[in-house]
Structure 1
Amino acid sequence: MASWPSGELDRIGRLKEIEISSERSNGELRRWTPIWVVRAGDELYVRSGGGAEGGWYRYAVRSPVHIRTAGVEQRVRLELQTDPSVQSEVDRVYRKKYRFSPFRRFLLSAAAQSTTSRLVPEWPE
């Protein structure tokens, strides 16, 4: 299983948001969308505030995905997490990291929780 280098894991996990884009059928990227990211253990997780019908999420589950932050652009795979203990831990981290945001409730909703996805880096071979 692919894993993040510790430096990138630390840096991305501290960020308030990253940008995500998915590939079109011709390989071009769709528009970049800012999303919240959390680190739980040695993994990075994202959710769609709009649930499974959220714009970026609908495309991201059907095509290759890229994330970018200051200085890093990485192709990733979204791996849906349905284990209640993982979802609970991701809830805990979202509550703590975004505790002062009035938008936090969207990422803690049942619809958003159903989209809890681990970011799995895909490295060139």
Structure 2
Amino acid sequence: MPDIIIYFIGLIVTVPIIATWIVYLISMKIYRHKWKAVHNAVNWTTILYIIAVVALVNEIFGISFFGTILVILISIYTIIVVAHWKIYTEVIFTKAFKMFWRICFLLFLMLYICLVLIGIYLRIFY
């Protein structure tokens, strides 16, 4: 039984699209509102995409980019906070973090898809 749980967690971390879909379906049943379900799925699975991208980069290229990704995340958040400050003259950190989290979802979703395609290409042809 513990092996099944470990394999399930490994599957969810390595294929976060499945987790996003599951969270979306559950949220759709609870909220019965499409956009609330989408936002809930994005909020809960962003961290899985970040972990999956770190794991894929490590697997494909053989080096860890964890520190680089951490610096990129901090830089993105800093840019968003400064933009909020310039536009609204008062920074509301919850709104800034919400925007940061959604941008991270989109960025890491695209990176995940690109890395999966690169990984498939490299495994087939090399």
Q: TM-score, normalization: structure 1?
A: 0.27
Higher relative contact order (CA 8 A, sep 6+): 1
The structure that has the greater radius of gyration is 2
More helix as a share of residues: 2
